Structure 1
Amino acid sequence: MDEKQTVRVSKALSRVLRHDPDSIGIRLDAAGWVPVDDLLAGLARHGRGVSRAQLDHVVATNNKRRFAFSEDGRSIRASQGHTVEVDLGLPAAVPPPVLYHGTGSRTVGIILREGLRPMARRDVHLSADTETAVRVGSRHGRPVVLVVDAAAMAAAGHEFRVSANGVWLTDAVAPEYLTQAP
């Protein structure tokens, strides 16, 4: 599978497993899981045929580890980023003292005034390193990294969870916990 094909399949999986399972006639369970056979059959019925080997390749090589197989390998789900209602069952976790959020330069002012909200997603996504935040911000124009005082948030009772691929999740980040990285 070449890189272009891998990206194409990854984007299709993201759309279906995070946002629109109905588009291929599948149902996610309450935790976001769907049987692999159902996913592959749904993709094939809608002209997006993917083999199990190709699916395995995309899951194994995705640098953001966006997808996870169940322990028995029979089900798959997106690790986070859902707009459809799911409960990933992630336990509360103690965050590192500082987390980061990447955004584009045009949104920095409003975020610093109003804070971070999940928008269409279920959670605000944060990273543990600035490199990831820069990559995320680059998708939105000139990247800007915001520093989140996760220790202060946790001390104030805000809950954090960490997804299978290391993305930190929280409901929202108020402006008082945000600063712009130099």
Structure 2
Amino acid sequence: MNYRELSKEVSYALRHAPSEYGLVLDENGWVDVQELLKALKENNKWASIELNDLLSMIQAADKKRHELVGGKIRALYGHTIPSPIKKEIAEPPEHLYHGTARRFVESIKEKGLLPQERQYVHLSVDENTAYEVGKRRDEKPVILRIKAKLAFMNGISFYKGNADVWLSDSINSEYIEFH
């Protein structure tokens, strides 16, 4: 089984289009794993999928994108569905990073970082990851250093996505250093 392809399919179902799969996420983004398996089996490509395949997919992932607990599964971040997925506020590290295309820099200086089509702004714990993310939209991305701890102390909410990804509703430009 191609776990990378499966991960993309599960991410699409849980982050962007649960209704296309007949799924209803709870307020924390969870869905019954048996419902997800049933929905995936309806697609001939995943007709033989079993619970162990989902477990192997999660284990094989280079980044932690999904979690399976107590018979339920969810995507940890990246949602574009209209209903907000609730996250617990957590104190971030001193600095976080965000890679962006050069064409967005002036807008970010003016308006700060906004979630755009996602529910949250995605931030990385290190510059290398931010650079790789930024390269998706620009071959020479700009790396923004976020004064996360200071922003948090001044009332900006942060949420831990996983070990490498932090989320925020938005980041005011005063907390952004442009490099």
Normalised TM-score (structure 2): 0.89
**Equivalent of 1:40, from 37, 42, 57?**
37
Aligned partners of 1:24 and 1:46 also within 8 Å: no
**Equivalent of 2:27, from 22, 27, 30?**
30
* Equivalences, count: 175
Give the structure 2 partner of residue 82 of structure 1: 79
- Letter of the 2:60 partner, please give it: T
How far did 1:171 drift?
A: 0.9
- Letter of the 2:64 partner, please give it: R
Moved over 4 A (4+): none
How far did 1:155 drift?
A: 2.4
Aligned partners of 1:79 and 1:165 also within 8 Å: no
How far did 1:30 drift?
A: 1.8
How far did 1:165 drift?
A: 4.2
Give the structure 2 partner of residue 147 of structure 1: 145
Per the alignment, in what secondary structure is the counterpart of residue 44 of structure 2? coil
Give the structure 2 partner of residue 61 of structure 1: 60
Of the structure 1 ranges 105-114 and 52-61, higher mean CA displacement relative to structure 2 is found in 105-114
Does 1:132 pair with 2:135?
no
Change (3 A) 1:24 1:91: closer
Change (3 A) 1:48 1:39: farther
Does 1:112 pair with 2:104?
no
Q: Extract unaligned runs of 5+ from structure 1.
A: none
Distance 2:84 2:169 in 1: 14
1:41-92 CA-to-partner distances (Å, cap 9, x unmatched) read 101113341332322121112112110111x3x111000111222434x322
Distance 1:83 1:67 in 2: 15
Distance 2:41 2:167 in 1: 33
- Letter of the 1:163 partner, please give it: G
Of the structure 1 ranges 32-41 and 151-160, higher mean CA displacement relative to structure 2 is found in 151-160
Give the structure 2 partner of residue 156 of structure 1: 154
Give the structure 2 partner of residue 20 of structure 1: 17
How far did 1:119 drift?
A: 1.0
Change (3 A) 1:17 1:96: same
- Letter of the 2:129 partner, please give it: T
How far did 1:109 drift?
A: 2.7
| Cα RMSD after superposing both structures | 1.7
Distance 2:109 2:60 in 1: 35
